[in-house]
Amino acid sequence: MRLMAHLPLSWVRGLGVALGWVLYGLAVPRRRVVAVNLKLCFPDAPLAQRKAWTRRAFIHFAQSWLDRGWLWHAPREVLARRIRLVGPWQEFEGDTPTIIFSPHFFGLEAGGMALSMNVDRVFTSIFTPQPSPAVDAWMKAGRSRFGEVTMLSRFDGVKPIINTLRKGGALYLLPDMNFGPEESIFVPFYGHLAATVPSLSRFARLGRAKVVPVVSRITPEGYEVEVMPAWQNFPTDDVEADTALMNQRLQGWIDTMPDQYYWVHKRFKTRPPGEPPVYR
């Protein structure tokens, strides 16, 4: 990955296409997960269209993984040429507690990098520790190479997250996942009840923070990272309604690039009581 940081982007992306096709052919169980997710969320899309999205999702998955070579090791000027930050990123000026809602699009690593390179704030990100200490250290170092970034384990609890927010920090949060029934509530997602972590609403309320969405897209030139205006009247006292609103707005962004969302995740693994499993 360090050596790949010196390759032209077109070479890295070409290798990603090849690796994506290999993964698509070999990772049959995960390919079925993507197919089920797309069928549930886009039932009216032709089968040929869903298959094309599936193939491109594996290619984007591979490309985004190989891109970490230059995201985490290339000189700053290389990243500045390849990552385009657009939208009202002035939302991050000052010291207002801020939660950056970054959904699981394949470009999310570039999104975090763009903000830490361009915004003078104390950033906090939550990560899942890796089994290998060497890989764990490599990932944390890559994500914190610019600016002031603190990596917190998701097993550290809520207290350090809230303390950082209340001190005027900015939290890079990825709550659009299913972490099981103990940590989730059921709210609609593309017309199906999906177990969803309600942390966006709860952290915003406890940290007295505003929510600013950031959506990252893979482009031929690298990445486009779009900052959107802060949400108004959020959070409310209704955590379930807030989480449902989060999913609803997420759907609108997914609809613009269905092949760039993280469909390899078993989004519907946790089922409402009495509902049959969907991944067989």
pLDDT tens, 99-122? Answer: 999 999 999 999 999 999 999 888
pLDDT beyond 90 at 178: no
Helix (H, G, I), strand (E, B) or coil at 207: coil
Q: Respond yes or no on whether the N-terminal peptide bond of residue 277 is cis (omega within 30° of 0).
A: no
Helix (H, G, I), strand (E, B) or coil at 24: helix
Confidence class of residue 245 from pLDDT cuts 50, 70 and 90? very high
pLDDT beyond 80 at 154: no
Give the end-to-end CA distance of the chain in Å, rounded to a whole number.
Answer: 35
Residue 63 is predicted with a pLDDT of: 98
Average pLDDT of the segment spanning 165-185:
89
Of 26-40, 134-148, 223-237, 263-277, the poorest mean pLDDT is in 134-148
* Cα within 13 Å of Cα(212), Cβ side: 23
Contact 81, 44 (CB under 8 A): no
Q: Over pLDDT 90: what percentage of the chain?
A: 77
pTM for this prediction: 0.93
Q: Over pLDDT 70: what percentage of the chain?
A: 100
* DSSP β-ladder status, 83-86 and 98-101: unpaired
Higher pLDDT, 178 or 242: 242
Q: How far apart are CA 192 and CA 176, in angstroms?
A: 14
Contact 185, 196 (CB under 8 A): yes
Among 108, 88, 123, which Cα is nearest to 224's?
A: 108
Give the mean pLDDT of the chain. Answer: 94
Confidence class of residue 158 from pLDDT cuts 50, 70 and 90? confident
pLDDT beyond 90 at 94: no
